[in-house]
Amino acid sequence: MGRIVTIIGTRPEIIKMAPVVKALDGLSHDHVLVHSGQHYDLVMDRIFFRDMELREPDYQFALKNQPAPLQVATTMRHVAQVAGTADLVMVHGDTNTTVAGAMLANKLGKRVGHVEAGIRSFDKTMSEEVNRIVADQLASLLFAPTRIARENLRKENVQDGVHVVGNSVIDALKANSAIAERRSNILDRLGLSRGGYLLLTFHRAENVDDTKRLAQALKAFETAAKVAGLPVVFPIHPRTAKNLRAFGLEKRAHAMKALRRIPPTGYLDMIRLEKNAALILTDSGGLQEEGCYFRVPCVTLRENTERPETLSIRANVLAGTDPTRVAAAVRRQLGVRRTWRNPYGNGRTSRRIAAIVDKILG
């Protein structure tokens, strides 16, 4: 019997790894779940654990609001003793927790499994891109979501141990969509109707840590609302809210009547908001995938994406934060035919990953 240590740290990781954790729990191997605490709002994280019906972590740490280098170093120090007994360390995606777990396992001489391997934006100014590349170079088991991701790895001379398994986000959506419809009343609470609003998320450092870009984005949000003739529902990230105040943009945001800022939501509420929106505006990778699954068109407020599959099927379009480009993208996506096929798998990704891990550990 082997020993698996899975390390997560952010809410997107909770969502995407919950089905994987459950599948690994079902194996005969010892499975230890570690939460690094990278998202310092641990109360909100508990809501996501509850919504995903995910067991409590075996080890819970708190990074609080540390800068990125300290997040990586502190996670490695916290988790070292736990990972020292592992036969396989599992990490997900592109966060500071991901790269910390991969580097720690490598230093300890342990095998690394990387879920969501091989996705690339080809923009190394994004810390997430660097984290992905490092994790993939250190991993011996690489769970790629699509053939495009596998090809990205091949071009980087990473070919051994690569498995195309789909994306576990589909597993999570298939398991929770009906539950969200039953349990979440967020549309009623906000007075929203199906197709009667745009949904916005906006939190990437390259967007919200720059005064000019954040100011431009506010104008783009206002323009999008005018083009669509609909309000923009905005579950605002703490980082974005903080910078609106720090950059003197809070009054401008408050004056935008079409911009309905609400606190961050739980997973089930977010599913309902995504599924019933006329359009999604986002700089998040996860919402590009989830909107694609729900056949809700997306406008990505970035200059690149690590989800090119969504572009090729016209489920998504890149617009940056320029108001003119965003307006054109909103017009296009509101009129797009919602007949595309989901490119991220059939909801069996977690079982595939568990089966591969079981075979490797023996």
- Amino acid identity, position 267: Y
Section 243-266 average pLDDT: 96
Asked if residue 38 belongs to a domain, the reply is yes
Asked if residue 340 belongs to a domain, the reply is no
Q: Are residues 216 and 351 in the same domain?
A: no
Q: Are residues 281 and 247 in the same domain?
A: yes
- Report pLDDT digits (tens) over 18-76: 999 999 999 999 999 999 988 766 667 888 899 999 999 999 998 877 888 999 999 99
Q: Are residues 208 and 273 in the same domain?
A: yes
Q: Are residues 128 and 207 in the same domain?
A: no
| Set 39, 114, 203, 237: catalytic member | 203
Label residue 336 exposed, middle or buried (CB < 10 Å: 0-12, 13-18, 19+): middle
**Of 28-42, 188-202, 244-258, 266-280, the least confident:** 28-42
Annotated active-site residue 78? The verdict is no
How much is the pLDDT for 41?
A: 67
**How many domains is the chain partitioned into structurally?**
2
Q: Where are the alpha helices (DSSP H) in the chain?
A: 11-25, 42-51, 68-83, 96-107, 127-138, 147-155, 168-183, 186-190, 205-208, 211-228, 238-246, 250-255, 267-276, 285-294, 308-312, 323-334, 349-361
Q: Are residues 132 and 221 in the same domain?
A: no
Asked if residue 212 belongs to a domain, the reply is yes
What CATH number corresponds to the domain at position 88?
A: 3.40.50.2000
Residues in Cβ contact with 130 at an 8 Å cutoff, skipping those fewer than 6 apart: 99, 124
Q: Please give the model's pTM, rounded to 2 decimal places.
A: 0.95
How much is the pLDDT for 335?
A: 97
Domain range for 234 is 179-334
Q: Are residues 130 and 216 in the same domain?
A: no
How much is the pLDDT for 43?
A: 63
